[in-house]
Amino acid sequence: MAPDKPTSLITVTLPSGATLEDALRQLGIGRDAVDTDYGLVDLHNGTYALLVTEAVAERAHGTPGARGPYANPKIEPFGPPQPGRDED
């Protein structure tokens, strides 16, 4: 079974100027459950985004102020356009 890497996107409501440590305390999790390189991203609407393990994301529903998981899809450049399958 693949290890549960912190790739699930959630948001958490925190006061202005909050740090990653504040988010960890609110969620009741350790640093090993989050992507510390990604850190805590201020969404400038009173909430912050962070990447957590799937297990933490699933628990996020029940944590006050936490929401998610949100889709974190792969994004790709729109060019150059590649021929369609029947044009190959």
Partner 1 sequence: MRVLIQMKPERDVVEAVANPQLTATTQDVAGSMPGVELDQSFTPVALPRPVPTTTEGDPLSLTQQLRFSMRPEDATVLVRGEIHDYDAASRLSMLALSRPQIVGISADPAIQTSPTCPGDGPVGNWQDVKNLLAELGADDLDGSGIALAITDTGINTQHLSNELDRPVTVDAARSWNPPGVTGKPGQFPVDHGTMCAFDALIAAPKATLIDVPVLLSQQQGPTVMSGLLSDAVAAYSHLWSVLETMPDDKRALIVSNSWGSFSPRWDFPPSHPGNYSDNPGHPFNLMVTALESAGADVLFAAGNCGLDCPDGRCEFPDRPIVGANSHPRALSIGGVDTRGNRVGYSSQGPGRLDPNKPDICAYTHFEGSHAFGAGEPDSGTSAACPVAAGVVAAVRTQWSANAIKPAELRTLLQRTADDRGAAGFDHDYGFGIINVPAIMDALRRRSKNGHGIRR
Residues at the contact surface with partner 1, assessed by CB under 8 A? 2-3, 5, 7-9, 11, 35, 37-39, 41-45, 47, 49, 51, 68-85, 87-88
Q: How far is the CB of 55 from partner 1 (least distance, A)?
A: 13
Tokens encoding 14? 């925190």
Instruction: Provide DSSP, 28-59.
Output: T--GGGB-TTT--EE-SSSEEEEEE-HHHHHH
Q: How far is the CB of 38 from partner 1 (least distance, A)?
A: 5
Q: How far is the CB of 54 from partner 1 (least distance, A)?
A: 9
Question: At 48, is the secondary structure helix, strand, or coil?
Answer: strand
